[in-house]
Amino acid sequence: MDITITPDTYTPSVDNDGNYIDKIPIIKKGLFCPCGSRKEKNYENATKFACHIKSKAHQNWLVNLNQNKANYYVEMLMNKEMIVNQQKIIVQLENQLHKKNLTIDYLTEQLTMKTNQQACTMDLLDLN
């Protein structure tokens, strides 16, 4: 099993007007850009990433982000609500699982006790 270092994912900065802008971060473990221009491409240093953010595909992605800010906000709110609902469902399922495990443990104990009682009451003289 090899240990690999996962590169950071690039997120554009926001200017004073609320628009997304490119700002080159400090790159330590590599950087992955989610713009989709080069899938699975990791940029090892700031120079290579600076060339990438000048590309047409990356610039189009940034424009698209700025044009759809309101949609992303609504989507984020819906995702937050979904996460809360899923957390509630997980808690309910964990509670059900805990109750069923307790029931299984109880019934197993009862079955074990009954089997032991039957073994103790067997007359060994009747075995012949």
What is the pTM assigned to this prediction? Answer: 0.63
State which residues form the domain around 106.
70-128
Cα separation, 62 vs 56, whole angstroms = 10
First to last CA, the chain: 60
Same domain, 59 and 13: yes
Q: Do 82 and 47 lie in a common domain? A: no
Retrieve residue 47's tokens.
């120079």
Name residue 54's amino acid.
K
Q: What is the spatial distance between Cα 53 and Cα 57, in angstroms, rounded to a whole number?
A: 9
In this structure, are 61 and 76 located in the same domain? no
CA 10 to chain centre: 18
pLDDT digits (tens, 9 = 90+) for 87-105: 999 999 999 999 999 999 9
Q: What is the pLDDT of residues 62-87, one digit of tens each?
A: 999 999 988 988 999 999 999 999 99
* 56 lies in the same domain as 113: no
Residues 63, 1 share a domain = yes
